[in-house]
Amino acid sequence: MAELRIGEKVPDFTLPVSKDRKVSLSELTRNGKVVLAFYPGDFSSVCTNEWCTLRDGMKEFEKLDARVVGISGDSHFTHEAFKKANNLNFDLLSDYDHQVARLYNVYYEDFLGLKGASKRSVFIVDREGKLRYRWVTEDASKLPNIEEIKRELEKIR
């Protein structure tokens, strides 16, 4: 899969949030900018740190007219427990078969002995569904620069 480029329309997708609710990227972008944050899995120390940092900065993201959404291959059941344990106030989407991670070219075939996981990565998508920011790391212990993400959001009207 080719790397997504800034300014290109990104692939739309629909993923479950819970047993009874699914959400699509096109639905999310109708309401403003979207920060898609892919991550390897719930309950790891690095992922917990990342999500609690995002949770603590949520008011700033809201002021920037941006919605934060997490995506990993964990089930919606695991996501619900992870959200509750960490008091997270945003959606975590279940990419259980890793199709969206593959679409966005952020998929590990093998991650620490596990068959498949999302690479830690962040994409900012504007209201038109165009990519405005892309950050992907091969080092799953590395966290995204939240201040850089906010600066990029400020540039988008």
Whether residue 114 is contained in a domain is answered as: yes
Q: Give the separation between CA 16 and CA 41, rounded to whole angstroms.
A: 16
Whether residue 62 is contained in a domain is answered as: yes
Whether residue 40 is contained in a domain is answered as: yes
Given a cut of 90, whether residue 48 has pLDDT beyond it is no
Average pLDDT on 76-96 reads: 93
pTM of the predicted structure, to 2 decimals = 0.93
Show which residues are catalytic: 47
Average pLDDT on 94-119 reads: 88
Whether residue 30 is contained in a domain is answered as: yes
Lowest mean pLDDT among 36-45, 98-107, 110-119, 134-143: 110-119
Whether residue 102 is contained in a domain is answered as: yes
Average pLDDT on 11-38 reads: 95
Whether residue 9 is contained in a domain is answered as: no
Whether residue 6 is contained in a domain is answered as: no
Q: 36 pLDDT band (50/70/90 cuts)?
A: very high
Number of domains in the chain: 1
What is the extent of the structural domain holding 127? 14-155
What would the 3-class secondary structure string for 75-124 be?
A: CHHHHHHHHHHHCCCCCEEECCCCHHHHHCCCEEEEECCEEEEECCEEEE
What's the whole-number average pLDDT of the chain?
92
Average pLDDT on 65-78 reads: 94
Lowest mean pLDDT among 88-92, 120-124, 126-130: 88-92
Whether residue 123 is contained in a domain is answered as: yes
The CATH number assigned to the domain holding 85 equals 3.40.30.10
Classified as helix, coil or strand, 135 is strand
* Residue 1: per-residue pLDDT: 62
